Structure 1
Amino acid sequence: MKNWKQRTTALLLAMAAAILAINCKEKPEAQDDAIYADIVIYGGTSAAITAAVEAKRSGKSVVVVSPDIHLGGLTSGGLGWTDTGDKSVIGGLAREFYQRVYNHYNTDEAWRWQPHSEYGNTGQGTPAMDGENRTMWIFEPHVAEKVFESFVQDENIRVDRDEWLDRENGVVLKEGKIISITTLSGKTYKGKVFLDATYEGDLMAAAGVSYHVGREGRDVYGEEWNGVQTGVLHHKHWFASDISPYVVPGDPSSGLLPRVSGEHPGEKYSGDNKIQAYCFRTCMTNHEPNRVPFPKPEGYDPMQYELLARVFESGWKEWFGKFDAIPNYKTDTNNHGPFSSDNIGMNYDYPEASYERRREIIKEHEQYQKGLLWFVANDPRVPEDIQTEMQKWGLAKDEFVDNGNWPHQIYVREARRMIGEFVMTENELLKRRPTPKSVGMGSYTMDSHNVQRYVKEDGFVQNEGDIGVGTNGPYAISYGSLVPKKKECANLLVPVCVSSSHIAFGSIRMEPVFMILGQSAAAAAAMAIDGEVPVQEVNYNSLKKVLLDRGQVLEKQ
């Protein structure tokens, strides 16, 4: 009897242990408080959302760990006048995004303030609303955000918002792989493959992956357009007249005006740690029922805009040159001219800065740009015709309603750039060299905004760093530019801070391209999981077939 009881007890204990083991295998969250997914995406950008959609459609579980509350990055943050380049190479989920935008504007309800018939339908080299391809390339910020939210809802994607990576202690690696990431709120996320889809590359950096900040010298990759570019004056973002940079014009002893550097700009073509200027893409309107007058920022100082007053005095009249029209009598307003919304030289430490310091930089940019708008609308030194017109404009009342009608995303044109398995340079973009393993295409001009404002040897002020060089048609982007070196991390993909030189990134950095690369990165992540291989060893021919099936464009026909 005793033996029978012992055997029965042993059997029951064994069964309980087996059941527990099965439950732990099926529900690993029972072991700890971590959140599990096959693919963990850090970021709330347009690339993050397309990556998450692709992950779900590839049959993988996914979680988006977003420091942002609003999804879509710059695409929903004011950049509605899309930098398309050659739109024929925008495929896959990126094209689906623009098709969903088209569907929105193909309804009467979309045209709240402006009759559809009055909209000019002008885009960057393409009609804003392309009926033949059912795509809309120009849109209001809240519409873009609505589309990203529809992707999340339709695919039932988990998005944890306002979750900031613990950059000091929050990334756990084992044998060259990321095991988990933890946010400042204490949440831990575990996955098989991770994606860094941020503009800053914080996960990439915290994982110990190699990266670069600033401009490489031209000799690093054998490029013409990298490094310091003094004397190169592209676009219209430079001082065409002799403007004194001194408080008392012509008197160096009086000191420099605000926002002028007294440092030497560096030898031409040399590398530096400086980055192109940031700004906010403000959504303005001159439609009175929806207009909010420009606010006067706290601490407003008209002396910050003295250079602009002198530019106006020189006869410059192009202030409204980049009030690009989007639907409903609104604009996507960008930098234009020698002194404008680009806050030149005030962002150099942003890529590596702490969260607190980044918030300070963003706040300073906001104060600068709000002050700029107030200055033009109110300062007596502004020409009367420009000021009278400016006073008709204001912020759009129905945009960014939880942020004082101000964009929730600063335009981080460039921050960290990974140094990965393959580095994209101007040589690939200009087709001087072939690009291996295409996972998408770019086509926009190699475009860098100004990097510094300095005093020339003749004593006048000038800007430096603004470059615009065509790529002679679309170019392929290598899979190797999305993955770190294998020895550094075997389960991370980086579709935004891609492995590229400064000047090559100047073209790659366009929002449609980020969406393309986000999707391709997620497709590769799914294949790495299925094949149980490092992301660097994903079979390219198999990946290519998947991407083509998904509608991605990998080469120009």
Structure 2
Amino acid sequence: MKQIITIALLSFFVFGCKSPQETENSLNADVIVYGGTSSAVIAAVEVAQSGKSVIIVSPDKHLGGLTSGGLGYTDTGDKSTIGGLSREFYHRVWLHYNDSSAWIWQKHSEYGNKGQGTIAMDGENRTMWIFEPHVAEQVFEDFVAENNLTIYRDEWLDRENGVEIEDGKIISFKTLSGKIFKGKIFIDATYEGDLMASSGVSYHVGRESIDTYSEKWNGVQTGVLHHQHWFREKISPYKVPGDPSSGVLPRISTEAPGEYGAGDDKIQAYCFRMCMTNHDENRVSFPKPASYDPEQYELLVRMFETGRKDWFQKFDAIPNWKTDTNNHGPFSSDNIGMNYDYPEGSYERRKEIIQEHTDYQMGLLWFVANDPRVPEDIRTEMATWGLAKDEFSDNGNWPHQIYVREARRMIGDYVTTENDVLSKRKVPRSVGMGSYAMDSHNVQRYITPEGYVQNEGDIGVGAPPYSISYGSLIPKKEECTNLLVPVCVSSSHIAFGSIRMEPVFMILGQSAAVAAGMAIDKNIPVQDVDYSELKTELETRKQILAK
């Protein structure tokens, strides 16, 4: 059932914001935010606090995207670059865990306080970067309630005929339920960029060549082996080892990977970030999917036979004896090569891909905990783990959001590339900062000329804090004048590998909303917002624009 949180009339006097107008199936507001991600919520909060009316149109029932969908071991990078409402989110997480009642299954003193490149619970700065999924979702719902935001959930854009364009402006869009949303400014804060694409804005899917933007780390990266997510040992890809006539094992491509540095239409692997626990009182045994096929994991068996023992390395601890479990190793939860259709796929096709990823990853967990071909020590320990009973309770304790690491990327007013991320050129019109390494997960699994299996596309290149240009949030002026895109930003594949962190999406969501308000006040295209004025407004809101 669709849930609607309606703005109270009192909000005008409390917050100074205006109420959306509703007539029949037509809903009107100053700003329409499409998406249910962390960026979408923060953008809407900023619009409301700036005194404008706003509606969130969310395809999702749950708010927060990956932040509330299992990614609780936050990719912070340099946390001093995180300001504004993004930092407020992590402050509220800190307030939650500073209360002893939050520690239900575990004593606070038993928690190790380890974060990603930082301590988890930073008392000095009153922030916490590591959290349980339901805690993150509650913080977003608190933002909604406190700002009396109007949300239409489970509302899906009519991607075929739903967007009305007039003189280079979006007038309205229609959802599959028949509702029409009209606004002065629109913000596409989805992972997929559906509103952007349906509005005729230019975008790219896949990897550009290294020549497109004079980059080193873009395109096909055969022979580049970062992290530990590649096959160190020589493993045969064939059903009968060494015999090509026997056929290829599942989940290995027989296509050539492409020339080094060449562009392609492939994207980095997706997975679910798993919230797991080995605390028996809160543990649900891994379910065995109906489509379970142990042969899908034959390559993992061969990997184990080489002696690799690093299966548990990314079971990162979050409070209450839980984990944010991410991929690790050459064969893990990353479902390499099985998501290429996702960015442009129909809703039905995307559902098929998500189901295939669910079956694969659920089957993988079952396999490692139960199959006798798995080394006994790993199998025995894995059997002590399970899903957390008190997370994702309406979805069989399975995350409600797949990790869409990359889908469409706008080709906008300014394209952020690795040259910006690595500070090789000066970034104009900063609206926020990133600081994470340029991080792409594997893109394909192929057969080498020598006849062995190998992965390709996993890149990890460190980067200092860098600014992100306002031009990367806006389309080219000739394409659309009232749209901002804070998630599927204008950037190259490898630059997006750094930008695509949840704190940054929240930062950019707020900055996009501030610009939207300024464009409304002066009745101008988003491309004509005066940057000096925008900079002042952002700094007033404690956004960090440079270091």
Could you say whether these structures have the same fold, taking a TM-score greater than 0.5 normalized by the shorter chain as the test? yes
Query: What do the CA deviations read for 1:454-504 (whole angstroms, capped 9, x no partner)?
Result: 000110000000000011x10000000000000000000000000000000
Q: Secondary structure at the match of 2:405?
A: coil
Q: Distance in 2 between matches of 1:343 and 1:154?
A: 39
Aligned to 2:158: 166
Could you tell me which of 383, 388, 394 is aligned with 1:391?
383
Give 1:189 deviation, angstroms: 0.4
Q: Secondary structure at the match of 1:219?
A: coil
Aligned to 2:266: 274
Residues 1:34 and 2:9 are matched in the alignment: no
Give 1:33 deviation, angstroms: 3.5
Query: Number of residues paired by the alignment?
Result: 530
For the 8 Å contact 2:19–2:53, the answer to whether it is kept is no
Aligned to 1:364: 356
Query: What do the CA deviations read for 1:259-309 (whole angstroms, capped 9, x no partner)?
Result: 000000000000000000000001000000000000010111110000000
Aligned to 2:516: 525
- TM-score, with normalisation over the residues of structure 2? 0.96
Aligned to 1:545: 536
Could you tell me which of 298, 305, 308 is aligned with 1:313?
305
Residues 1:244 and 2:240 are matched in the alignment: no
For the 8 Å contact 2:72–2:324, the answer to whether it is kept is yes
Aligned to 1:491: 482
Q: Distance in 1 between matches of 2:271 and 2:258?
A: 24
Residues 1:217 and 2:209 are matched in the alignment: yes
Q: Distance in 1 between matches of 2:22 and 2:425?
A: 52
Amino acid at match of 1:154: E
Aligned to 2:495: 504
Amino acid at match of 1:520: S
Q: Distance in 2 between matches of 1:350 and 1:429?
A: 27
Q: Distance in 2 between matches of 1:446 and 1:382?
A: 33
Residues 1:156 and 2:156 are matched in the alignment: no
Amino acid at match of 1:427: N
Amino acid at match of 2:479: E
Give 1:49 deviation, angstroms: 0.4
Q: Distance in 2 between matches of 1:167 and 1:151?
A: 29
Aligned to 1:415: 407
Amino acid at match of 2:129: W
Amino acid at match of 1:482: L
Aligned to 2:3: none
Q: Secondary structure at the match of 1:303?
A: helix
Q: Secondary structure at the match of 2:66?
A: helix
Q: Distance in 2 between matches of 1:339 and 1:125?
A: 25
Aligned to 2:546: 555
Q: Secondary structure at the match of 1:221?
A: coil
Could you tell me which of 45, 50, 58 is aligned with 1:66?
58
Aligned to 1:20: none
Change (3 A) 1:109 1:218: same
Aligned to 1:295: 287
C-alpha root-mean-square deviation of aligned residues, in Å? 1.0
Give 1:547 deviation, angstroms: 0.4
Residues 1:129 and 2:121 are matched in the alignment: yes
Aligned to 1:81: 73
Amino acid at match of 2:222: T
Aligned to 2:11: none
* Structure holding more helix per residue: 1
For the 8 Å contact 2:87–2:127, the answer to whether it is kept is yes
Q: Secondary structure at the match of 1:220?
A: coil
Q: Secondary structure at the match of 2:211?
A: helix
Aligned to 1:3: none
Amino acid at match of 2:286: F
Give 1:108 deviation, angstroms: 1.2
Q: Secondary structure at the match of 1:172?
A: strand
Query: What do the CA deviations read for 1:90-147 (whole angstroms, capped 9, x no partner)?
Result: 0000000000000000111100000000000000111100000000000000000000
Amino acid at match of 1:373: L
Amino acid at match of 2:304: F
Aligned to 2:13: none
Q: Secondary structure at the match of 1:337?
A: coil
Aligned to 2:465: 474
Change (3 A) 1:27 1:225: closer
Q: Secondary structure at the match of 1:88?
A: helix
Q: Distance in 2 between matches of 1:104 and 1:521?
A: 28
Runs of 4 or more above 2 Å deviation? 26-33
Q: Distance in 2 between matches of 1:379 and 1:459?
A: 28
Q: Distance in 2 between matches of 1:258 and 1:437?
A: 48
- TM-score, with normalisation over the residues of structure 1? 0.94
Give 1:30 deviation, angstroms: 7.6
Give 1:27 deviation, angstroms: 10
Change (3 A) 1:535 1:326: same
Equivalent positions of 1:85-124 (< 5 A) are 85-124=77-116
Give 1:151 deviation, angstroms: 0.2
Equivalent positions of 1:193-232 (< 5 A) are 193-232=185-224
Q: Secondary structure at the match of 2:212?
A: helix
Query: What do the CA deviations read for 1:427-480 (whole angstroms, capped 9, x no partner)?
Result: 011111110000000000000000000000110000000000011x10000000
Aligned to 1:355: 347
Q: Distance in 1 between matches of 2:381 and 2:144?
A: 41
Amino acid at match of 1:516: I
Aligned to 2:431: 439
Aligned to 1:49: 41
Structure 2: give runs of 5+ residues left out of the alignment. 1-17
